[in-house]
């Protein structure tokens, strides 16, 4: 099993491109199931999760081709053609490692009238039930049953009629599934308290490019007028705001300065606000954002929240930065109940972090020390890399398969900024 070896203490400096957003790409890929015409996605990141979702789409009879792919390039161009759906089952062996697989349920139900999808897996960061996915689809007319670890869904004869659904809590995935299903419904669907993340807007924009009719994109109340068919489209995946925020933390903790080309400041406002409060300079530049450490890191208090609040996917990376802050920071995790698994590993490196329920108290220390650490989930992995970049001596981060799910060619980008990093085969 591969590991990354980091020799800490090097100031990061330079310019790197922000890759296409993992969380957006995994939502855009299943849109190809909604039409028999080709859908081409540009700026698709090279990630294990993307490869896994490609294999899942192939399972349904979707052909996938990658054009102009060169090993030295970041991003790819993939064309998906679901000319004919030959299978409506997403099996356990393909779904178990990737929670995003549940996003085939809505489009498959809308296109083929039925879908059988294994209950999903993914990072073990807490309880993430799919009940809101199912309730939203039921409100649109689907019949759903759970049996032997699978969701079995059927649409009435003539397809989904559409309907109204108010999410009792904000759910990104459930909003995405409902949007895709509603696009081909025979009537109008109204979604209240829908998620507002930029990745939701990206999905809506692709659906509109394919001929969908969606009102109030970006708002918490969405109206979708179903259409008889959707057509193909070519679309560029939005830049990854979580990747950009992660590299911003890496620059800050090493006392460096980095320009992140392609980053969209308007989609990262909560992250930028937190960094500035922590004493990090963030400037909006022509092609992205410029991040520079200007002095000591300051302690801050912060709670995660649905967009436009501070993203739970940035909590671990910011915590790593705050390990070296002057003073004590308090972080509250409001989204997932088990998202502090990186804390014991950071403490192994000399951090002083205490947790109680969903609250983490980060007592700033003067230095971190390299150690062997184990990644537990995707964002926790990046927090350990960030800490290792600033630590004295050598840090070894094990279980790189987590990082490979969400950060495109991480060690290459860090090397471009002057970090001393090496990927080696494990035992």
What confidence tens digit (pLDDT) does each residue in 162-205 have? 999 999 999 999 999 999 999 999 999 999 999 999 999 999 99
Model confidence band, residue 127 (pLDDT cutoffs 50, 70, 90): very low
pLDDT of 130:
87
With tokens 């993914």, the residue in question is 122
Res 71: pLDDT: 63
- Portions of the chain given CATH number 3.65.10.10: 3-18+239-424, 22-236
Instruction: Retrieve residue 394's tokens.
Output: 């050598």
Is residue 99 part of an annotated ligand binding site? Answer: yes
Residue 128 counted as an annotated binding residue: yes
pLDDT band at 94 (very low <50, low <70, confident <90, very high): confident
Tokens of 244: 């950009």
Q: What is the largest CA-CA distance in the chain?
A: 66
Nearest to 75 by CA among 15, 21, 27: 21
| pLDDT value at residue 92 | 87
pLDDT tens for residues 242-260? 999 999 999 999 999 999 9
Residues 78-93, mean pLDDT to the nearest whole number: 94
Q: Is 161 annotated as a binding residue?
A: no
Which pLDDT score, from 0 to 100, does residue 249 have?
98
Class at the top of the CATH hierarchy for domain 3-18+239-424:
alpha beta
Residues 6+ apart with CB under 8 A from 214: 179, 183, 204, 207, 208, 222, 223, 224, 225
The string of DSSP codes covering 250-311 is HHHHTT-EEEEET--GGG-HHHHHHHHHTTEEEEEETTEEEEEE-SPPBP-EEEB-STTSB-
The pLDDT assigned to 32 comes to: 98
Are 244 and 263 a contacting pair, CB within 8 Å?
yes
Catalytic residues: 123
Residue 302 has pLDDT above 80, yes or no: yes
Is residue 306 part of an annotated ligand binding site? no
pLDDT given for residue 347 in this prediction: 98
Does position 54 have pLDDT exceeding 80, yes or no? yes
Report residue 280 CA to chain centroid gap.
24
In this prediction, residue 72 has a pLDDT band, given cuts at 50, 70 and 90, of low
User: Mean of the pLDDT values across residues 110-118?
Assistant: 95
Are 399 and 385 contacting, i.e. CB atoms less than 8 angstroms apart? no
**Local confidence band at 1 (pLDDT 50, 70, 90 cut-offs):** confident
For the chain, give the percent of residues with pLDDT over 70.
96
- Predicted confidence at residue 128, as pLDDT, reads 47
Q: Is 160 assigned a ligand-binding role in the annotation?
A: no
**Six-digit token string for 373:** 């650490």
- Position 315 scores a pLDDT of 97
22 labeled part of a ligand binding site:
yes
Determine the CATH number of domain 22-236: 3.65.10.10
């Amino acid at each position: 099993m591969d590991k990354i070896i980091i020799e800490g203490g090097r100031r990061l400096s330079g310019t790197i491109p922000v890759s296409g957003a993992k969380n957006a790409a995994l939502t855009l890929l299943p849109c190809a199931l909604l039409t028999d015409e080709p859908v081409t996605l540009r700026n698709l990141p090279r990630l294990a999760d993307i490869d896994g979702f490609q294999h899942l789409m192939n399972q349904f009879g979707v052909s996938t081709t990658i054009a102009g792919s060169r090993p030295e390039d970041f991003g790819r161009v993939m064309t998906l053609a679901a000319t004919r759906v030959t299978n409506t089952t997403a099996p356990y062996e393909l779904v178990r490692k990737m929670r995003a697989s549940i996003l085939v349920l809505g489009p498959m139900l809308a296109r083929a009238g039925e879908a059988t999808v294994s209950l999903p897996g993914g990072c073990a960061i807490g309880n993430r039930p799919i009940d809101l996915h199912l309730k939203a689809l039921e409100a649109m007319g689907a019949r759903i049953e759970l049996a032997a670890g699978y969701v079995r869904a059927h649409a009435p004869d003539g397809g989904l009629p559409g309907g109204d659904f108010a999410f009792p809590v904000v759910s990104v995935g459930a909003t995405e599934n409902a949007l895709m299903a509603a696009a081909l419904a025979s009537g109008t669907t109204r979604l209240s308290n829908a998620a507002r993340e930029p990745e939701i807007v990206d999905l809506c924009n692709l659906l509109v490019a394919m001929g969908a009719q969606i009102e109030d994109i970006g708002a918490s109340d969405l109206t979708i007028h179903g259409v008889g068919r959707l057509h193909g489209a070519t679309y560029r995946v939005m830049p990854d705001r979580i990747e950009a925020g992660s590299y911003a933390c890496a620059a800050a903790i090493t006392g460096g300065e980095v320009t992140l080309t392609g980053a969209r400041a308007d989609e990262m406002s909560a992250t930028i606000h937190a960094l500035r409060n922590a004493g990090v300079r963030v400037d909006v530049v022509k092609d992205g954002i410029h991040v520079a450490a200007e002095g000591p890191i300051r302690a801050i208090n912060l709670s995660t929240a649905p967009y436009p609040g501070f993203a739970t996917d940035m909590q671990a990376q910011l915590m790593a930065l705050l390990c070296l802050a002057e003073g004590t920071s308090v972080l509250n995790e409001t989204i997932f109940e088990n998202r502090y698994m990186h804390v014991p590993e950071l403490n192994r490196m000399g951090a002083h972090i205490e947790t109680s329920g969903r609250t983490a108290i980060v007592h700033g220390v003067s230095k971190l020390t390299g150690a062997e650490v184990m990644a537990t989930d995707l964002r926790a992995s990046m927090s350990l890399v960030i800490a290792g970049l600033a630590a004295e001596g050598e840090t070894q981060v094990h279980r790189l398969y987590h990082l490979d799910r969400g950060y495109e060619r991480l060690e290459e980008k860090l090397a471009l900024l002057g970090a001393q990093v090496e990927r080696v085969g494990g035992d």
